[in-house]
Amino acid sequence: MKALMYRGPWEMPVEEMEDPTPSAGKVVVEVEAVGICGSDVHGFTGNSGRRTPGIVMGHEFAGTIGEVGPEVEGYGAGDGVVVMPLYSVAASADPYPINLSPHRRLTGMNEHGAYAQRVAVRAAQLFRKPERMSWERAALCEPMAVTLHAARITPIDPMQKVAVVGAGPIGLLTMLAARLKGAGTVIAVDRSVHRLELAEELGADAVINVDDGDAAATIREMTGGGVDAAFEAVGISSTAQLSVEATRNGGNITWIGNNAPMIEVDMQSIVTREMSVRGSYGFDETDFAAAIEALSSGRLNVDPLVEKTSPLDDGPELFRSLAAGETDLVKIILKP
């Protein structure tokens, strides 16, 4: 079968590799759609250090079961499935939810993922794909689950004001998740004109370009002192600080961005204004199931996010252009 094989920084050619076979408790999924994630682009450049050469990446995916291994019940060849890439290697009952478990692993990082025509996964990772859901929407379930988890752990009362810093795929989906949680006013912040236009299309009440002036001051003026809750979806010092400055005294800040391992923020401002700052990582099974329901229900307008679909053979050039900053496409789906 064909697969994108990560060989080292800026090297991820299409290669032929052996088809996977399903061992006990596993199935082989024929990949119908897989999203290109920013974390994989960072892994491709070697900047994150979280992708090891010799791995097939790809963790936002859905497909059709091709083969079923021993000890698998409830699934058969031909079933359409959405795959939750997080799994646990705990030897016994784990007291932590999957996203916080020290035993958590990720398909596409710790084992071969879905930038391939076929991939073997555990039956425990499978969720049935609703018939009414397109393959493209199914590939958005993983990032949607990330944002629903962030919204779930962030206190938001009905009609409160929310800012989302970063209008990439996660930031844009966070806007929608905040709406589902009850946000009344949603403000999107970025420096990409294209992404801010897309934020408006998806329902942002206001968009702010950081290159046009002091974004935090603009937000405070618009909201009478700052938003009730802010989400940061970039993961660098400047955007983390912006999320603090844009939030009212006593407000809530949730950092989803996972880019720079160390950042600088004004701790005195957080302390003296009694801000609540939390991290949000991944999702659990409940969040993933909710993402499938949200994206299959027709309640969310997510189709504009998918700006390109391409065959697997286009993968190397797409990764290169994304990593080089030559394209501003929000979400690209590969269809192996």
Confidence of residue 331 (pLDDT cuts 50, 70, 90): very high
pLDDT, tens digit (0-9, with 9 covering 90-100), for 77-128: 999 999 999 999 998 889 999 999 999 999 999 999 999 999 999 999 999 9
Question: Do 333 and 309 form a contact (C-beta atoms < 8 A)?
Answer: yes
The pLDDT score that the predictor gives to residue 47 is 78
- For 2-143+283-334, give the CATH class: alpha beta
Burial 36-65 (b: 16+ CB within 10 A, else e): bbbbbbbbbebebeebeeebbbbbbbbbbb
pLDDT, tens digit (0-9, with 9 covering 90-100), for 52-61: 999 999 999 9
Instruction: Provide the whole-model pTM.
Output: 0.96
Question: Do 292 and 141 form a contact (C-beta atoms < 8 A)?
Answer: yes
β-strand partners of 277: 253
The pLDDT score that the predictor gives to residue 247 is 98
Whether 222 shows a pLDDT value over 90: the answer reads yes
Confidence of residue 259 (pLDDT cuts 50, 70, 90): confident
pLDDT, tens digit (0-9, with 9 covering 90-100), for 132-162: 999 999 999 999 999 999 999 999 999 999 9
The pLDDT score that the predictor gives to residue 325 is 93
d(C-alpha 336, C-alpha 322), whole Å: 19
Whole-angstrom CA distances from 256 to 136, 201, 230, 320 are: 23, 23, 10, 25
Assess if CATH 3.40.630.10 describes domain 154-279. no
d(C-alpha 5, C-alpha 14), whole Å: 6
The pLDDT score that the predictor gives to residue 50 is 77
The pLDDT score that the predictor gives to residue 261 is 86
Whether 233 shows a pLDDT value over 90: the answer reads yes
pLDDT, tens digit (0-9, with 9 covering 90-100), for 182-216: 999 999 999 999 999 999 999 999 999 999 999 99
β-strand partners of 11: 8
d(C-alpha 243, C-alpha 110), whole Å: 32
d(C-alpha 233, C-alpha 174), whole Å: 8
Q: How far apart are the first and last CA of the chain?
A: 10
Residue ranges per domain, the chain? 2-143+283-334, 154-279
Burial tier of 106 (Cβ tally within 10 Å: 0-12, 13-18, 19+): middle
Question: Do 242 and 165 form a contact (C-beta atoms < 8 A)?
Answer: yes
d(C-alpha 237, C-alpha 263), whole Å: 5
The pLDDT score that the predictor gives to residue 126 is 98
What are the structure tokens assigned to 220, written together?
């405070």
pLDDT, tens digit (0-9, with 9 covering 90-100), for 179-191: 999 999 999 999 9
Whether 49 shows a pLDDT value over 90: the answer reads no
State what percent of residues in the chain have pLDDT above 90.
Answer: 94
Whether 21 shows a pLDDT value over 90: the answer reads yes
Mean pLDDT in residue range 309-326: 97
Average pLDDT value over all residues in the chain: 96
Q: Where do the H-state alpha helices sit in 53-188?
A: 135-139, 141-152, 169-181
Residue 309 CB partners (closer than 8 Å, separation 6+): 33, 136, 332, 333, 334, 335
